[in-house]
Amino acid sequence: MKLSKLLFVAGILGLLTLPTLGADPIKIGALFDYTGPVAELGPKFEAGLRLALEEVNYTVAGRKIELTIYDSATSVSVALDMFKKLVDSDGVKIVIGPLMGDAHLAIAPYASEKKILTTTLLNSMRSVATRPGTTYLLYPTTCEAQTYWFGQYCYNVLGHRTMVTIGANYAGKIAYANGAAQGFIAAGGTVVGQLWPPVGCQDYSPYISGLASTVADVILYALEGPGPCSRFIYQAREAGVTKPLVTITMDGDYTPEALAELGDLGLGIIGESAYTWQLDNPENKAFVAAIKAKYGRVPCSAEQNTYALAKVILAGLEKTGGNVEFDDLWEAVLSSKLNTPAGSVSWTSEGVAITPAYVCQAELVNGVYQLSAPLYTEPKLIDPTLPSSQKK
Amino acid sequence: MTSAGTTGSHKAPWIWRALPLVLAAAVLVAMPGLLPTFMQRMMSKFLIFAIFSISYNVVAGYTGLISLGQAAYFGVGGYAAAVLMVRYGIDSLWVTALAGVTLGTIAAAAVGPIVLRVSGMYFLILTFAIGRLGYSLTWNLPFFNVPEGIQGIAGLPRPNPGIPGFQWTELSFYFFVLLVFALAMFLQYRLSRSPFGHSLQGIREGEMRMEALGYNVWLHKYLAFVIGGAFAALAGVLYVFMNRFIEPADLDIMRSFYPMAMVIIGGTATLWGPVVGAAAIVFVEYFSSILVPQRWPLILGSLFILAIMFARKGLAVYASDFWSKAGAKLWKR
Amino acid sequence: MSMFFTNLVNGLAMGMVYFLTAAGMSIVMGVMGISNLAHGALYMVSAYVGWQVFKGFHGPFTLAVILGGLTGGLLGLLIERIFLRRLYKQPNEQVLLTYGFVYILTNLCLWIWQGWARMPFTAAALKPITIGGLRFASSRLLLIALGALFAVALWYLQDRTRLGARVRAGMDDKEMAQGMGVNMEMVSMLVFFIAAFVAGLSGVLGAQVMGINTEAGSTILVQALVVVIVGGVGSIQGALLGGLLIGLIDTFGKVLFPQLAMFTIYLAMVLILVVRPRGLLGRRG
């Protein structure tokens, strides 16, 4: 029994690792969350990636592309395990994902060791890019740079003078919240308080009880995904908090589904976004039409980010003639400049993307709750603390 | 292989009875060399979880203490080794392993008096509570989070065995784990056949009777709990060596649940149950998550339910029964 | 001072959700000796069903609550009749089996309702109620009232009815109760159904404060286990005391010691069980 089981396992292994016949395909791996707290985003990330690859018929520089996707289960352990599997067993040289910022801190050493070009899906901490031997593409930028300018915007354009921040208590959201706070202070504002509820917090009311009587003009929240953000908005409004709310990564948290659930509660909240489906550029028009045709919904940043990242990587592969060796590909990608649905993208020498950013809000049009066209556009986000920015 | 075999009057010769053991050993030694590196790592993972399951088998299988917190000692062992590496720059395999196992054992020894004040359902939820406490501690204390910004300890070096010029490969690491596994199996064998092991099983079957016979039941349970903690810590140390990463979830209920499922599916209180169960779960989880990334929990969940409803004695027991019966038939003539 | 009253209401409301979820779990553990780790998953499935009735089919809220409760109750009864019935006195197997259902039900909810989080769906509750110059969330006040009502009803069922007497008798000595002609099989079925039904109710009610997501089952399971540890196995009073205590400790912990937010209830739990290993109102067992 035991032997036959082992033989069976060995047989399956043999089949799975059988080398594919014919010309060597280019192998691209991806890690998305299909289970766990942000399981809703996995299929969206996959949709964007597949769309980009379908557009080139899974072929680049005359070679077929072979895509392998695994579930990272919203777990750092699983993400690390599956990353190793992609690299060691599937022979992948390029990995897109996973989503969790802290998973990248665990993966980065291994990615450097094996020289694997790896991308984030939605920002990550600056330290991932600045560690020696980095092989990471940070997209759309670092957490800190993503929100710094928005803090300034809150002071200069929205006219707020005092702010209180509430951010989920882990590195990624702390970086977002602090980035915005520093921008707000730099513009002349005062941050009167910072609250850090734990990840997975089901009831924000104890924190909200402090916000109800806050002297701050504005409350900035940075919580760990669409669910927690919506929960916070509901609980705050329910408790009678009427102060204006602003947020970051609005495009990621205000998915069409989350907006529909929030209804009127989502209206009036202004947020920083790396993308909105209403951007007026030819790439985006085609992209939105393709997603609508295929899935019957408008895209959010999840679809856009993997789509744009795939475009960047495809452009790099085209340039290297299909060569996937890290040094060549890295060079080709970093020197690329592309127009994506979210706007232009180029790269710093650390592999941090330089992209535009937008300010959006939720709106109700013909009975549908949706993300608005940009109220404001910040043409180029560059993290000012990166070594490459300091040299200039 | 197990005591559950019903052989009848016709007993197969010893060579027949030893054959599965020999074959298993041959497969464990010879097969990994033929596998791709990632599968070699999966084989290591399987053996590490087999050791972790031995821990549960000692505590719950032989002694009958149903624990929902075995991962606490797995985690203490793992974190101890990881902390030595990143905080104190000690990467010696021997020092970190010894420290990990020692601290895990001490943790079990310290927790034992608290949880053993109760039994049954209360023991179950108390052991869960201790694991949960460890989870929230390691999540919150910056000391246990390296590099800054992550919950857990990442980017760990390979343990240094102190042999000049030695370089780890997945295969050499596998053989190291196999060696430790063999030792753990031997210890489990000796334990289960020793008078102490028999007393533990006696306690499981009837605590009052053993008490009446003059056994110090509490001390027996306590020692079993501590020994279980030591096995769990050993598995935790090896897990950190393999994964080069550990996180708070490694102390929590989900992690505790693995050895429990493995032992029950393989065969409770049997020598080979933990091994067969570990193989079943590690590989079913692995293949199902790859083949159906969105639906693998359905497969794993169904496996648990089917195993409970239709193979409650455990796969190892059925396998061994089948083998003995086949042997008895073959030698009937 | 206003902060105190606001958070008192916040903590009590959460405490009532914990109580309603833990009550059934505690009784099933105490009376039937069953550890049902799928209890939290029943809470979650019922919450989704309630959402479906209210938002999907535009049914009234009461119907959403009742159908949510029935879903939990029937699903629980199904698990008990088909599976758990064969596993009496086998805690190991019970845990593994019910955890298998956690995997399955969680993934099925993800499949049916997708991963996006659902908001509390009682729009009427949005207008805060003002009492003595203080504003309170109306859904929380309602939750406290309903929780108190169910506490009285469950206590009455436990201490003042024939079913309750049989349950208590069965808990003390199953064989003797059977010898006296009590149909323990029937009592077990009823108890299991009621426990799962109340978990289902609390799912729909809890969703009015916390919303629903696919992690809700695992989250509430852990909270319910903590409540059972603190309150003690096998009594409505224990679950109520434990639930309210954990709700208040969690809430005031977040206010007073925000750095320890993740931590306070486990610390409190360990302290309580060092002093009273069977919980505050636990029976021997």
Local structure of residue A89 (DSSP, 8 states): I
Three-class SS state of C83: coil
> Both tokens of residue A186?
């730099």
For chain C, the C-alpha Rg in angstroms (whole number) is: 19
Q: Find tokens 């009455």 and name the residue.
A: C156
B100 is a domain residue: yes
Measured in angstroms, the CA of B126 and the nearest CA of chain A are apart by 23
Contact B137 C262 (CB under 8 A): no
What domains can be seen in chain C, in order of their start residue? 2-275 (1.10.3470)
C285 contacts chain B (CB < 8 A): yes
**Domain match, A33 and A178 both:** no
Q: Mean pLDDT across the stretch A15-23?
A: 48
Task: State pLDDT tens for residues C124-134.
Answer: 556 788 888 88
**Set of chain C residues whose Cβ sits within 8 Å of the Cβ of A39:** 110, 115, 214
**pLDDT at residue A390, as a whole number:** 79
Are A76 and A126 members of one domain? yes
Q: In this structure, are residues C116 and C211 in contact, taking their beta carbons and an 8 Å threshold?
A: no
Whether B261 contacts chain C with CB within 8 A: yes
| pLDDT tens sequence across A236-268 | 988 889 899 999 999 889 999 999 999 999 999
Number of domains into which chain A is organized: 2
Q: SS3 helix, strand, coil % of chain B, rounded to 5?
A: 75, 0, 25
Q: Is C229 an interface residue toward B (CB < 8 Å)?
A: yes
Q: Residue A3 falls within a domain, yes or no?
A: no
Interface size between B and C, measured as CB pairs under 8 A:
118
Of A210, A227, A262, the CB nearest to C213: A227
Q: Are residues A108 and A255 in the same domain?
A: no
**Structural domain contains residue B106:** yes
Looking at per-residue pLDDT, the higher value among A101 and B57 belongs to B57
Assess whether A153 and A220 both reside in one domain. yes
Q: Centre a 10 Å sphere on the Cβ of residue A190 and count the other Cβ atoms it contains.
A: 14
Note whether C280 contacts B: Cβ–Cβ < 8 A.
no
Q: Which residues of C touch B130 (CB under 8 A)?
A: 270
- Give B132's contacts in chain C (Cβ within 8 Å): 222, 226, 266
Instruction: Nearest by CB to C92, from B60, B114, B129: name it.
Output: B60
pLDDT at residue number C179 = 78
Check residue C259 and give its pLDDT. Answer: 81
Q: Considering its fold, how many domains does chain B have in total?
A: 1
Q: In this predicted structure, what is the pLDDT of residue A332?
A: 96
* Residue A9 is assigned to a structural domain of this protein: no
pLDDT computed for residue A8 by the predictor:
58
**How far apart are the C-alpha atoms of B201 and B192, rounded to whole Å?**
9
Least CB–CB distance from C120: residue in A210, A234, A258: A234
Q: Using one digit for the tens of pLDDT, what is the confidence trace for A204-213?
A: 999 999 887 7
Disruptive mutation site among C85, C86, C99, C114 for chain B (greatest number of B CBs within 10 Å): C99
Give the three-class secondary structure for C48: helix
Cross-chain Cβ contact B149/A34 below 8 Å:
no
Q: Are A247 and A376 contained in the same domain?
A: yes
User: Residue A76: pLDDT band by 50, 70, 90 thresholds?
Assistant: very high
Same domain membership, residue A111 and residue A75? yes
Whether A2 has a pLDDT exceeding 60, the answer reads: no
Calpha distance A217→A219 (Å, rounded): 7
- Which of A28-37, B186-195, B217-226, C114-123 bottoms out in mean pLDDT, i.e. has the lowest? C114-123
Tell me if B157 is assigned to some domain: yes
pLDDT, mean of residues C265-280: 87
Residue C99 touches partner A, C-beta closer than 8 Å: no
3-state secondary structure (DSSP) of residue A217:
coil
Confidence of residue C271 (pLDDT cuts 50, 70, 90): confident
Shortest alpha-carbon distance between residue A4 and chain C (Å) = 26
- How much is the average pLDDT of A132-151? 93
Q: Which domain holds residue A317?
A: 23-140+281-351
Furthest CA-CA distance within chain A: 73
Residue A274: closest CA among A247, A295, A294: A247
Which residues in chain A are contacts of C254 at CB distance < 8 A? 197, 206-207
Inter-chain Cβ pairs, chain A and chain B, closer than 8 A: 105
Which candidate from A209, A213, A227 shows the least CB-CB separation from C255? A209
> What is the per-residue pLDDT for A21?
40
- Helix pair angle (B273-291, B315-330), 10° resolution: 120
Asked whether the beta carbons of residue A34 and residue B155 sit closer than 8 angstroms, the reply is no
In a domain, B30, yes or no: no
Cβ within 8 Å of A, C 192-221: 209-211, 213-216, 219
Residue C273 has pLDDT above 90, yes or no: no
* C244 vs C23: CA distance, rounded Å: 12
- Say whether B322 and A170 touch across the interface (CB within 8 A): no
Judge residue B295's burial from the number of C-beta atoms within 10 Å of its C-beta, 0-12 exposed, 13-18 middle, 19 or more buried: middle
Residue B77: its H or E element: helix B71-88
Q: Average pLDDT of A345-372?
A: 95
Residue A105 contacts residue B154 (beta carbons within 8 Å): yes
CB distance from C33 to chain B under 8 Å?
yes
CA distance to partner chain C, nearest, from residue A244 (Å): 17
Interface touch C273/B308, C-beta < 8 Å: no
Which residues 93-132 in chain C show a CB within 8 A of chain B?
93, 95-97, 99-104, 106-108, 111
Chain A partners of C255 at a C-beta cutoff of 8 Å?
206, 209-210
Interface mutation target, options B31, B39, B287, chain A, most CBs of A under 10 Å: B39
Separation between Cα atoms, residue C285 and residue C269, nearest integer Å: 19
Least Cα separation, residue C156 to chain A (angstroms): 31
Q: What is the DSSP letter of A279?
A: -
Q: Which domain holds residue B200?
A: 40-259
Query: Does A97 share its domain with A223?
Result: no
Helix (H, G, I), strand (E, B) or coil at A325: coil
Q: How many H-runs (helices) and E-runs (strands) does chain B carry?
A: 13, 0
Q: Nearest by CB to C270, which of B68, B129, B261?
A: B129
In this structure, the answer to whether residues A250 and A325 fall within a common structural domain is no
Q: Does B27 touch chain A (CB under 8 A)?
A: yes
Instruction: Point out which residues pair with A68 in neighbouring strands.
Output: A29
**pLDDT digit string, tens, across residues A121-135:** 988 888 899 989 999
Domain assignment present for A67: yes
In a shared domain, residues A231 and A321: no
Phi and psi at C81, nearest 5°, equal -65, -45
Say yes or no for a CB contact (<8 Å) between C96 and B68. no
What percent of chain A stands above pLDDT 70? 94
Tokens representing A172 are: 């990624």
Which CATH number covers residue A133? 3.40.50.2300
Q: A120 pLDDT exceeds 80?
A: yes
Q: What is the pLDDT of residues C31-82, one digit of tens each?
A: 888 999 999 999 999 999 999 999 999 999 999 999 999 999 999 999 999 9
Q: Where are the beta strands (DSSP E) in A223-375?
A: 245-247, 270-273, 338-340, 343-347, 353-365, 368-371
At residue A360, what is the residue type? C
Q: What is the mean pLDDT of chain C?
A: 90
Is the pLDDT score of A9 beyond 80?
A: no
Question: How does strand A343-347 pair with strand A245-247?
Answer: unpaired
User: Per-residue pLDDT for A18 more than 50?
Assistant: no
Residues of chain B with pLDDT under 50: 1-9
Chains A & C: contacts with CB separation below 8 Å: 113
Q: Residue B202 carries which side chain, given as an amino acid letter?
A: G
Q: What is the dihedral of CA C68, C69, C71, C74, to 10 degrees?
A: 180
Band (pLDDT 50/70/90 cuts) for residue A13 is low
Contact (Cβ atoms closer than 8 angstroms) between residue B225 and residue B52: no
List strands edge to edge, sheet with A63-71. Answer: A59-60, A63-71, A26-32, A94-96, A117-119, A136-137
C173-225 pLDDT, tens digit each: 777 777 777 787 888 899 999 999 999 999 999 999 999 999 999 999 999 99
Distances (CA, A) of A63 to A21, A58, A315, A332: 13, 8, 14, 17
Whether B204 and chain A come into contact, CB under 8 Å, resolves to no
**Closest by CA position to A131, among listed A390, A354, A350:** A350
Nearest CA in chain A to B136: A198
Which of B74, B245, B286, B321 would best serve as a mutation to test chain A binding (most A beta carbons within 10 A)?
Answer: B245
**For C81-171, where are the E strands, in sequence order?**
129-131, 134-136
Nearest to C114 among A40, A202, A213 (CB): A40
Instruction: Please check whether residues A235 and A375 belong to one and the same domain.
Output: yes
Question: A210 with A79, same domain?
Answer: no
| Contact list, A13 vs chain B (CB under 8 Å) | 35-36, 39
Quickly tell me which residue has 């609550």 as its tokens: C65
For residue C285, what pLDDT is reported? 45
Residue B33 lies in a domain: no
Output the pLDDT for position A11.
55
Distance of CA C79 to the CA centre of its chain: 17
pLDDT in tens, A41-71: 999 999 999 999 999 999 999 999 999 999 9
Q: What pLDDT is recorded for position C275?
A: 86
- B120: tokens are 């049954």
Position A188 in a domain: yes
Across all residues in chain B, what is the average pLDDT? Answer: 92
Residues A265 and A372 in one domain: yes
Q: Which residue of B has its CA nearest to C233?
A: B122
